[in-house]
Amino acid sequence: MDQITISVIANRLKAIGRQMGVVIERSAHSPLLVEGRDFSLGIYSAQGALIEQTEYIPILGYATGPGVQAVIDYFGDDVHPGDAFLHNDPFTGGNQLSDWKVIKPVFIGEQLVAWTAITAHQADVGGSVPGSYNPYATDLWQEGLRITPLRIYEKNAKRRDVWDFVFGNVRLPIVADDIQAMIGGCTVGEREMVELISRYTIPVFNEAVEEIFNSTERMAKRIISEIPNGEYTARWWANDNGFDHEARMNIDVKVTVEDEQMTVDFTGTHPQTPGYVNAPMPVTVSSVMIAFFMLSEQEIAHNEAIKRCIHFIIPEGCMLNPRFPAASGFGNHLSDQIVSAVMLALSEALPGRVTAGWNPLLCSIMNGTDPRKQAPFVDIMINACKGGSGGTEGADGYDHIGLIASGGAISAQDPEMFELTNPCFLHKFEYAPDSAGAGEWRGGLGVETIFEIQSAGSQASVFGDGAKIGMTAPGVLGGGDGSVNSIVLEYPDGSAQEAHMKDLISNIPYGTLYKQMAGGGGGYGDPKRRPARLVAREVRYGVISAESAERDYGVKLSDPVKGIIDEAATALLRG
């Protein structure tokens, strides 16, 4: 096929994806979507194959397709122009009850030619805990409303009974507003797809898509062929299952490379947990894809063709593929550990490409009543949870970038908007010195956040990891680990409570200080190979302390304020 035509169609598909994203950013109401951009969108073939996606949040990318396929399989030929479908069920292709998918068919005349889909995190989806992260849930019904494939618009008409039922089971009207925005985004995608396919005809479009797939497959095979054949194994850990705060759950991975094919095998991984620390299979697959794209170090289309050369073994009943009806609200965030395990496995095979561990998320969702408005509020404390990424060959990690599942794309809330949206007063929000793992290329810095809770009886649902030494972002190839995470509530009476990594803290008094440390990323390579002048400059700028410079990097400063190096002492320290 004419390569210019293929290129034009491929780039037009990317542009359509961006248009869909702009609709969400400009018309959604929740800070999660407008500021956090916690969504992903895609264009699928009539049969459900992923053609193009725009991953604002990468973990939602390859985790969306199975839900699209579930809708296609469920409704079969009973699909019409103007329909819109809703889905979130982890056991029919979903990834998390909080991540709702809106899916719309694209017709040319009477022929179904494609689908548009948007997945976005909702501020509330019912369940026993506002915000829908329930650390004590033992099945999915305790986490929120389970939505199997459901038609919410039929032939351009809203199904009012279905709509009222769904949104009568969530706490916040803003959820309905966000779903309406998602329908709008899919509709824009539908409109543009009709225009594109009509211009080139259905046969030409389908041929172009197959050529795009073939090109992607060739690129993926070339990337895999650059990895030496062999088996590469690693074990990493998740911590605190919600009921046993000392529990450690292993994630075992074996990556087998044979010429142009790769198999990722999680046999031996810990059995599913009794609580919500389980990742449905779409999360596990999407996490591996994040690691693969990071390791590829080149621009490659993120579509269905990747799966032609990457294969998965994820035993049913393990925590990365739990059996029905397991709770899985925390599942998205096991991406931190899954990616770290894959990176550690391939660190010797691809030393120049791997990235040290990113800070594993520790976050909280605050909910309660805003006394200024006499209205409920629910918000994820995005600013406070964004730690640093890991270093890699030739580059330090990024500071305050957030969880690896977002690929650094989740945006921090504007501090003033944060105070307007929530009954909180921000006291401190700044980089944390000495939080990055030491290395020839250090990790990114974490942040320290302090704010005052100005509502009575609020609740914090805490979820995450990395709150103890040995659980933090791992360094690679001699690099140091990142710093620990912590959340501490200091009450007006002078007492304090340190949150567990999975916790639910209720009846928080007015005037409580919320203090959070988000750790830094892991370091890459021997810290003593880092240029001494760079270490001295970072001491001068307050990135690291003089004590860390001497202890971790072997750099002694005669004048830390001016960044003057004691050359003789440094030579002795560095051998």
- Give residue for tokens 């329909």: 83
Q: Note whether 387 and 482 are within 8 A (CB).
A: yes
pLDDT at 426: 97
Q: What is the pLDDT of residue 204?
A: 97
pTM value?
0.94
- Alpha-carbon gap, residue 216 to 219, rounded angstroms: 5
The CA distance from 403 to 359, in Å, is 7
Q: What is the pLDDT of residue 432?
A: 97
Residue 407: its pLDDT value, please? 79
Q: Do 444 and 520 form a contact (C-beta atoms < 8 A)?
A: yes
Tokens 């590469």, located at residue:
232
d(CA 186, CA 39) in angstroms, rounded, equals 13
Q: What is the pLDDT of residue 144?
A: 96
pLDDT at position 408 is: 78
Dist CA 377 CA 380 (whole Å):
10
**Phi, psi angle pair for 222, to nearest 5°:** -65, -40
| Residue 420 burial class via C-beta count within 10 angstroms: exposed 0-12, middle 13-18, buried 19 and up | exposed
pLDDT of residue 485: 98
Tens digit of each residue's pLDDT, the chain (575 residues):
899 999 999 999 999 999 999 999 999 999 889 888 899 999 999 999 999 998 888 899 899 999 999 999 999 999 999 999 999 999 999 999 999 999 999 999 999 999 999 999 999 999 999 988 999 999 999 999 999 999 999 999 999 999 999 999 999 999 999 999 999 999 999 999 999 999 999 999 999 999 999 999 999 999 999 999 999 999 999 999 999 999 999 999 999 999 999 999 999 999 999 999 999 999 999 999 999 999 998 889 999 999 999 999 999 999 999 999 999 999 999 999 999 999 999 998 999 999 999 999 999 999 999 999 999 999 999 999 999 999 999 999 999 998 888 877 788 889 999 999 999 999 999 999 999 999 999 999 999 999 999 999 999 999 999 999 999 999 999 999 999 999 999 999 999 999 999 999 999 999 999 999 999 999 999 999 999 999 999 999 999 999 999 999 999 999 999 999 999 999 999 98
Q: Which residues contact 512 (CB under 8 A, 6 or more apart)?
A: 452, 453, 489, 490, 491, 492
Q: Any long-range contacts for 24-28 (C-beta under 8 Å, 24+ apart)?
A: 24/118, 24/120, 24/181, 24/182, 24/185, 27/181, 27/184, 27/185, 28/120, 28/177, 28/178, 28/181, 28/182
Q: What pLDDT sits at residue 91?
A: 97
Q: Encoding tokens for residue 86?
A: 């809703």
Task: Identify whether 325 is preceded by a cis peptide bond (ω within 30 of 0).
Answer: yes
What pLDDT sits at residue 270? 98
Q: How confident is the model at residue 1, as a pLDDT?
A: 82
pLDDT of residue 298: 84
Query: How far is residue 305's CA from residue 283's CA, in Å, rounded to a whole number?
Result: 18
For residues 32 and 384, what is the distance between their CA atoms, to the nearest angstrom?
14
Report DSSP letters for 8-38, one per residue. Answer: HHHHHHHHHHHHHHHHHHHH--SHHHHTS--
50 close to 65: Cβ distance less than 8 angstroms: yes
Distance between CA atoms of 281 and 264, rounded to whole angstroms?
13
**Closest of 386, 398, 407 to residue 291, by C-alpha:** 407
Query: What is the rounded (10 degree) CA torsion for 552, 553, 558, 559?
Result: -80
